[in-house]
Structure 1
Amino acid sequence: MEQEATYRGTVYPWQCDHVGHMNIMWYVGKFDEANWNLFARLGLTPSYLRGSGRGMAAVQQNVTYKRERLAGDIVGIRSHLLEIRDKSIRFRHDMTNAETDAFCEITVARMDRSQRKSVPFTDAIRETAMRHLAEPAEA
């Protein structure tokens, strides 16, 4: 996948907990913002999802914290598509500053919003995703 960031932002003081570190809810929020940029690169734009009656639902999310983020830190997230299956994709977000300090691996399923069940990706989305799969060394 392109090495362009899927998220860039700042840690604000109000995002920090009682010991001065960015609270876990804000890590998840920043990873979620990166999700939507990654999805758009795959053709899963908000207008496509609304128009097709489809959506994306997280079914598993694992976050690893390697270093705390503090108020004023500038963070970036780069995303790597790891796997595409019939109805789901798995990807990894790396949050960085000077060093990698957290990463999040997520599996999401493509959903039919009216039937509330998972459905296969279209061939066009699958073909686009296949072009963006990360090399095993990146995972």
Structure 2
Amino acid sequence: MEPEATYRGTVYPWQCDHVGHMNIMWYVGKFDEANWNLFARLGLTPSYLRSSGRGMAAVQQNITYKRELLAGDIVEIRSILLEVRDKSIRFRHEMANAETGEIAAIYEITGVHMDCQARKSTPFADAIRETAMKRLVERAEA
């Protein structure tokens, strides 16, 4: 799987801190929106999660900040799967200034598939796992 766009948006002035660049809380928020777009492409849609009593939980996150983003900048996040296990996935988002192409931040995260009632991890449904594995295979063949 080539990195694919999972979020597009703008940095608003109210998202900037006292030194004039986007505050770290908004990086996390934009990355979170990209998470849900990536999950939906794997079959982890809101309707699936609600009807099955499943959820996703972040268990590890690492953000590397490379360039600042300013009010008015257009942001694009591109995402790629790195690893698929029975109950978890690991993926990376790259946030870029869409005008310049410069990478502003890289976010690597491990998410665990949860049974919301039991409050513990549970294996992915076969269809979701197969979709995720195909995306890994496509990436490996590229």
| TM-score after normalising by structure 2 | 0.92
CA contact (8 A) 2:2 2:139 kept: no
What do you get for the CA RMSD once the two structures are aligned? 1.5
Cα deviations across residues 20-76 of structure 1 (Å, max 9, x unaligned)?
010000000000000000000000000000000000000001000000000000000
Q: Which amino acid aligns with 1:113?
A: C
3-state SS of the aligned residue for 1:21? coil
2:17 corresponds to which residue?
17
Q: Percent identity?
A: 80
> How far does residue 5 in structure 1 lie from its aligned partner after superposition?
1.1
Q: 5 Å matches for 1:34-45?
A: 34-45=34-45
Match of residue 130, structure 2, among 127, 131, 134: 127
Q: How many residues align?
A: 137
C-alpha separation in 1, matches of 2:63 and 2:139:
21
Distance (Å, rounded) in 2 between the aligned partners of 1:63 and 1:26: 12
The SS at the match of 1:131 is helix
The TM-score with structure 1 as length reference comes to: 0.94
* Residue 91 (structure 1) shift: 0.2
2:111: which partner in 1? Answer: 108
- Which amino acid in structure 1 is aligned with residue 83 of structure 2? E
1:75 equivalent in structure 2: 75
Q: Distance in 2 between matches of 1:92 and 1:15?
A: 23
Aligned equivalent of 2:60: 60
What is the CA–CA distance in structure 2 between the aligned matches of 1:14 and 1:49, rounded to whole Å? Answer: 32
Unaligned runs of 5+ in 1: none
User: Following TM superposition, by how much is the alpha carbon of 1:135 offset from its aligned partner in structure 2, in angstroms?
Assistant: 3.6
Name the CA distance, whole Å, in 1 between partners of 2:12 and 2:122. Answer: 38
Please report how far the alpha carbon of residue 124 of structure 1 lies from its aligned counterpart in structure 2 after TM superposition: 0.9
